[in-house]
């Protein structure tokens, strides 16, 4: 897997190659794998955007010499942004539009409420601390416990985000939004701007303000800011959570590419994968057949006549 596919994960990963050199570099990567074929059995590449040309280049380089399987990885919803915020509102469903307007009005009408964007280097670490605190508050309020770690737990991951946020701020890629009550943060949204897209990465909310639906309000402010910046798309985190479907029906998919070595171990892994996929397919078909038969299985058989004569 690519670097960045685990705890500090990005939705869209790929080879980092200078434009115009992709074909040459991917061929060199494959030649390296062939040369060191005694050191690997399975190479996994992904998750990459379904439109990535890397998959095609790698398949072309392999040219039938190794087994290649492409699998669906994740669904990544995104919202197409419009020229202005009012047009964006009109693009939403009636229920979503009314909900966003009502909740934003409720937030803005309460004295002491404000919206802010981090834009100074001196405040970055302090505001990353606030983001972490809000995220972990929300995590615990939703049932997180000691057995399951928050994605924002540990000093190492916090230091990583200190560095990322500082670097991205200098490049004007950082978008760290806050909703505040009397200058104290009660909700935060952490995102990255790159070219004409905004990529939502993580969020945090104070559990004490849960009834105010701050997530909807904060997304609305972030989208308004993105439109002001003339961005074209707002990308949500990967996954098919219900709240994302309220914002958009558009999505992209990511793919994982599996490259199996022609070694004995590589062949065994390939056969095991095929067997597992066949089993899953059979189970899905079996569940479908059971669902179709349930009306008949539930019928009570006729009782035999107890009168024998």
Asked whether residue 240 is assigned to any structural domain, the reply reads no
Same domain, 104 and 162: yes
Asked whether residue 7 is assigned to any structural domain, the reply reads no
Higher pLDDT, 141 or 132: 132
- Give yes or no for residue 306 having a pLDDT over 50: no
**264-289: pLDDT as tens digits:** 998 888 888 888 777 676 666 666 65
Q: Which of 162, 210, 212, 214 is nearest to 187 (CA)?
A: 214
Same domain, 61 and 86: no
Asked whether residue 247 is assigned to any structural domain, the reply reads no
Asked whether residue 248 is assigned to any structural domain, the reply reads no
The token pair that represents 29 in the structure block = 């990567």
Q: Which of 78, 65, 183, 62 is nearest to 126 (CA)?
A: 183
> What is the percent of the chain with per-residue pLDDT over 90, rounded to a whole number?
54
Tell me which of 18-27, 74-83, 176-185, 225-234 is least confident. 18-27
3-state SS of 231-300?
Answer: CCEEECCCCCCHHHHHHCCCEEEEEEEEEECCCHHHHHHHHHHHHHHHHHHHHHHHHHHHHHHHHHHCCC
Same domain, 270 and 178: no
The pLDDT of residue 303 is: 41
Same domain, 103 and 197: yes
Same domain, 154 and 196: yes
Give every CB contact of residue 273 below 8 A, 6+ residues apart in sequence.
69, 258
Gap between the Cα atoms of 136 and 151, Å rounded? 9
The pLDDT of residue 160 is: 92
- Give yes or no for residue 57 having a pLDDT over 50: yes
Q: Output b/e per residue, 33-52; b: 16+ Cβ within 10 A.
A: beeeeeeebbbebbbbbeeb
Asked whether residue 239 is assigned to any structural domain, the reply reads no
Query: Which sign, positive or negative, has the C-alpha torsion 195, 197, 202, 205?
Result: positive
Host domain of residue 59: 22-76+254-286
Same domain, 192 and 55: no
From residue 148, how far is each of 13, 144, 159, 172, 240 by CA, in Å? 25, 6, 21, 34, 21
Asked whether residue 11 is assigned to any structural domain, the reply reads no
CATH number of the domain at 105, please.
3.40.630.30
The pLDDT of residue 296 is: 43
Same domain, 42 and 158: no
CA angle 55, 268, 255 (to 5 degrees): 20
Same domain, 146 and 90: yes
The pLDDT of residue 83 is: 94
Give every CB contact of residue 215 below 8 A, 6+ residues apart in sequence.
187, 203, 205, 243
Same domain, 208 and 109: yes
Same domain, 65 and 113: no
Same domain, 145 and 258: no
- How many domains is the chain partitioned into structurally? 2
**CA-based Rg of the chain, rounded to a whole angstrom?**
25
Tell me the average pLDDT of the chain: 86
Asked whether residue 249 is assigned to any structural domain, the reply reads no
Query: Which sign, positive or negative, has the C-alpha torsion 90, 86, 237, 178?
Result: negative
Tell me which of 8-22, 129-143, 152-166 is least confident. 8-22
Same domain, 52 and 182: no
Asked whether residue 241 is assigned to any structural domain, the reply reads no
The pLDDT of residue 8 is: 65
- Give yes or no for residue 88 having a pLDDT over 90: yes
**205-252: pLDDT as tens digits:** 999 998 888 999 999 999 999 999 999 999 998 899 999 999 999 999
CATH number of the domain at 267, please.
3.30.1370
């Amino acid at each position: 897997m690519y670097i960045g596919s685990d705890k500090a994960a990005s939705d869209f990963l790929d080879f980092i190659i200078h434009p115009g050199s992709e074909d040459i570099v991917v061929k060199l990567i494959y030649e390296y794998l062939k040369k060191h074929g005694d050191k690997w059995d399975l190479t996994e590449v992904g998750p990459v955007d379904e439109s990535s040309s890397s998959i095609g280049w790698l398949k072309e380089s392999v040219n039938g010499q190794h087994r290649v399987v492409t699998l669906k990885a994740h669904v990544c919803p995104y919202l197409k942004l419009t020229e202005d915020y009012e047009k964006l509102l009109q693009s939403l469903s009636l229920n979503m539009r009314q909900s966003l307007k009502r909740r934003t009005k409720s937030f803005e009408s309460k004295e002491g409420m404000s919206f802010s964007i981090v834009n100074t280097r001196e405040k970055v670490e302090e505001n990353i601390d606030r983001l972490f605190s809000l995220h972990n508050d929300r995590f615990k309020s939703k049932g997180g416990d000691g057995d399951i770690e928050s994605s924002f737990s540990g000093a190492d991951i916090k230091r990583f985000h200190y560095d990322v946020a500082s670097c991205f701020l200098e490049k004007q890629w950082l978008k760290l939004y806050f909703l505040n009550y009397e200058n104290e943060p009660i909700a935060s949204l952490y995102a990255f701007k790159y070219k004409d897209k905004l990529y939502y990465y993580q969020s945090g909310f104070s559990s004490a303000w849960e009834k105010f639906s701050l997530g909807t309000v904060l997304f609305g402010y972030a989208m308004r800011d993105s439109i002001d910046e003339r961005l074209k798309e707002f990308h949500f985190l990967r996954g098919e959570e219900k709240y994302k479907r309220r914002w958009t029906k558009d999505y992209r998919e990511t793919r994982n590419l599996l490259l199996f070595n022609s070694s004995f171990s590589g062949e065994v892994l390939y056969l095991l994968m095929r067997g597992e996929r066949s089993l899953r397919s059979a189970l899905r078909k079996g569940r479908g057949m059971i669902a179709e038969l349930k009306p008949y299985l539930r019928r009570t058989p006729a009782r035999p006549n107890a009168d024998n004569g």
